[in-house]
Amino acid sequence: MGRLLKGGQVVNPVTGSIASLDVLLEGNMVAAMGADLAHTDHEVIEVTGQYVLPGLIDPHVHLREPGQTHKETIATGTMAAAAGGFTQICCMPNTAPVTDEEQTVRYIREEAQRCGYATVHPIAAITTGLRGTELTDFAALRRAGAVGFSDDGRGVQSAAVMRQALLTAKALAAPIVVHAEDETLSAGGCVHAGEAAQRLGLRGIPSSAETVMIARDIILAEETGAHVHMCHVSPEEAVAAIRAGQGRGVRVTAEVTPHHLLLTDAELETWGALAKVNPPLRAERDRQACIRGLLDGTLSMIATDHAPHTEQDKARGIADAPFGFVGLETSFPLLFTAFVASGVMPLAELVRLMSTEPARVFGLRGGQIRVGEWADITVIDPRQTRVVNPAEFRSKGRNTPFAGRVLAGWPTLTIHAGRTVFAS
């Protein structure tokens, strides 16, 4: 028996259109779409007044498994993804052990498939142990299912190593996913080098620590013809460098996080270590530059950089607490409220940034609802408002500076491969 999503507004992020269409699912595929489809012998799911989207795709998530399952597991992380409307996520390699061997890539994929909440695409390490010296076996990792290569959490400090990584990844048609951080500039820093750091007496991380590495890797990508993807871009100067590289035809893409679009380092004085993230929340001019970069296409997708930590870890104070906070369950309503409900961008554009473009850049299926395609679908209710309550998260992580915000546009139904994985 098929399942019929009845009465919804189907969003097409490619054409920008929104149309009143029913969507028929049979098995794990989209079988038909049309106005007022007959529902004989089908289970009817009433979604009148709600938007029907292609499943969201997050290109940057930390699942913590293997090695730190007290912070998150593949099961809890993918449950959180489903609750946030995500049907596919790309996970970073800074696990323990590091995702630098085939068996770890296969384990992550198989465990996610066993759990069934979302498809997980591992991003494997560029260098063995994230040490920045010896390249991993890119070809073997690619065969095992890696969709890209990154030393996320660490910047590759050697230009020679990065150049060789780009050449090796190019031959495999895979992107190098850059955590841009010059550790000679960032060493010892814990927050943005700005007024908040001065008031709090904390050592800052200058914007140049990120920007100079982005500029270096754009030059190397230009020289090699490889595809370089910039993670969690935050300073104004980095946005400008990426825009200039794209203007010269360099194969450079970039992502931005909800927190770098919505918050500044002033949040440190309210939220303390809950607002500590790497790269750090920066100044208002940087936040505005990220918004401009998103709107003009320089930053072509949104990534949560979901980074769960324990309450005890974050209670150690700003200087000593680990970087990062969770984002899978709040990112869509945060951005829907900030940008769509306010009229800054149309809904179809937000969906393109959170589904279609990650699928395109990382070579994934999805990003559009079409007959004959995989049934990954997210339904959101634009009228539903809720308060962000970390106690209700599916993730083990409760660490967020967005607690207490009243947001609209929450997912009400997530369907992965034709199966309901979340319903509110």
Residue 215 structure tokens: 């500029």
Residue 379 structure tokens: 């339904």
Catalytic residue among 58, 305, 376, 381: 305
Residue 252 structure tokens: 């450079």
Q: Is 96 exposed, middle or buried (0-12, 13-18, 19+ CB in 10 A)?
A: exposed
SS (H, E, C) 137-157: CHHHHHHHCCCCECCCCCCCC
Q: What distances in angstroms separate CA 154 from CA 177, 178, 240, 263, 322, one per listed residue?
A: 11, 9, 23, 23, 14
- Report the 10 Å Cβ neighbour count for 135: 17
DSSP 50: S
Sequence-separated (6 or more) residues with CB below 8 Å from residue 178: 150, 155, 156, 213, 214, 217, 228, 229, 230, 231
pLDDT tens per residue across all 424 residues of the chain: 789 999 999 999 999 999 999 999 999 999 999 998 987 788 999 999 999 999 999 999 999 999 999 999 999 999 999 999 999 999 999 999 999 999 999 999 999 999 999 999 999 999 999 999 999 999 999 999 999 999 999 999 999 999 999 999 999 999 999 999 999 999 999 999 999 999 999 999 999 999 999 999 999 999 999 999 999 999 999 999 999 999 999 999 999 999 999 999 999 999 999 999 999 999 999 999 999 999 999 999 999 999 999 999 999 999 999 999 999 999 999 999 999 999 999 999 999 999 999 999 999 999 999 999 999 999 999 999 999 999 999 999 999 999 999 999 999 999 999 999 999 9
Residue 389 has what pLDDT?
Answer: 98
Residue 41 has what pLDDT?
Answer: 84
Using the CB atoms, write b or e for 196-223: b if 16+ within 10 Å.
bbeebebebbbbbbbbbbbbbbbebbbe
Instruction: Quote helix, strand, coil % in the chain, to nearest 5.
Output: 35, 25, 40
CA 204/CA 189 separation, integer angstroms: 5
Tell how strand 406-416 and strand 43-46 pair up.
unpaired
Alpha-helix residue ranges (DSSP H) falling in 230-281? 236-247, 258-262, 268-271
CA 327/CA 50 separation, integer angstroms: 23
Residue 301 has what pLDDT?
Answer: 98
The closest alpha carbon to 202, from 309, 321, 315, belongs to: 321
Residue 372 has what pLDDT?
Answer: 95
Residue 42 has what pLDDT?
Answer: 86
Q: Are 122 and 98 in contact (CB under 8 A)?
A: no
Residue 420 has what pLDDT?
Answer: 97
Residue 31 has what pLDDT?
Answer: 96
Active site residue 320: no
Q: Are 62 and 96 in contact (CB under 8 A)?
A: no
CA 121/CA 59 separation, integer angstroms: 9
- Please tell me whether residue 54 adopts helix, strand or coil conformation: strand
Which helix (H) or strand (E) segment is 91 a member of? Answer: strand 86-91
CA 165/CA 371 separation, integer angstroms: 39
Q: Report which residue type is found at 118.
A: A
Query: Using CA atoms in the order 365, 67, 72, 93, what is the torsion angle rounded to 10 degrees?
Result: -30
The closest alpha carbon to 396, from 2, 58, 183, 77, belongs to: 77
Domain architecture of the chain: domains with CATH: 3-51+372-423 (2.30.40.10), 55-362 (3.20.20.140)
